[in-house]
Amino acid sequence: MIKLYTDSSPNGFKITIALEELELPYELNHVHIDKGENLLPEFLALNPHGRIPVLVDSDTNTTIFESAAILLYLAYKTNKLIPVDHNARWQAIQWLIFHASSVGPIIGQRVNFEFFGSGKNKEATERYKKLTERAFSTMNNHLANNLYFGGEDYSIADIAHFGWTHIAKIINFDFNHYKYLSEWHDRIAARPAVQRGISIPEPATGP
Ligand SMILES: N[C@@H](CCC(=O)N[C@@H](CS)C(=O)NCC(=O)O)C(=O)O
């Protein structure tokens, strides 16, 4: 049995989307970050860094944190949401790691300075805006020649990127001028499992 510890947030949506796509049964544990539940000793025992998402799989006695690691875990557990072809599989893993290191944290910092911040730190605001644009541009160029991040197959790399492009759209970090990125986003957003994933747990972030 899988237990998911999550909140209504970009990194959490990656895992609710994946679980909905895979149609795996799971128990949802809503960790209310706004109430500090992620810093309680029982949660820190699951993730010492105090962040969601965390997945516990009692079938394999596995507890795992970091959304990219959880996505890989689910893909390897089911042999789904990851390309079969060797090169395409590594493309997908590469774009998943690119997301985890060079996109998610950058958009996260931009949200921090531009959306939640006082607006006074102009240097940081500009820096993260520029880095977000650069990430969007890199993603757009890749998607100009690929339907999905791993090539022809929808994969965990798409789910990871979507967790944050979903939030970027809601808070008007506009990427409409990136044609291929926009089209890719709309393609992913249209998937029923994605629509379910971004509504869990309620009340969900976004429209
Ligand atoms: N690199 C981590 C980031 C996880 C993360 O930052 N989660 C946020 C919610 S989206 C969180 O738990 N924040 C709690 C806090 O900042 O105290 C991952 O991809 O899982």
- Is the CB of residue 169 below 6 angstroms from any atom belonging to ligand 1? no
Separation of alpha carbons 71 and 169, rounded Å? 22
pLDDT value at position 185?
98
Same domain assignment for residues 16 and 38: yes
Domain count, the chain: 2
Q: Could you say which residues of the chain have pLDDT below 70?
A: 205-207
Contacts of 143 (CB under 8 A, 6+ apart): 149, 180, 181, 183, 184
Rounded Cα distance between 72 and 186, Å, is 24
Which residues constitute the domain of residue 44? 2-80+195-199
**Hey, which of 31, 52, 63, 111 would you mutate to test ligand 1's pocket, going by the most ligand atoms within 8 Å of its Cβ?**
52
What CATH code is carried by the domain that includes residue 54? 3.40.30.10
Q: What is the pLDDT of residue 206?
A: 59
155 shares a domain with 67: no
Cis status of the peptide bond prior to 201, with omega within 30 of 0? yes
Query: Is the CB–ligand 1 distance for residue 91 below 6 Å?
Result: no
Q: Does any ligand 1 atom lie closer than 6 A to the CB of residue 38?
A: yes
Model pLDDT, residue 115: 82
Same domain, 139 and 100: yes
Take atom 11 of ligand 1 and give the residue whose Cα is closest.
51
Residues 183 and 113 in one domain: yes
- 54 phi, psi to nearest 5 deg: -130, 140
Peptide bond connecting 192 to the previous residue in cis, omega within 30 degrees of 0: no
Query: Between helices 156-170 and 10-22, what is the axis angle to 10°?
Result: 130
Question: Which atom of ligand 1 is nearest to 108's Cα?
Answer: 6
- The answer to whether the beta carbons of residues 19 and 70 sit under 8 Å apart is no
- Is the domain of 69 the same as that of 151? no
Closest CA to 106 of 147, 161, 65, 67: 161
The per-residue pLDDT for 117 is 75
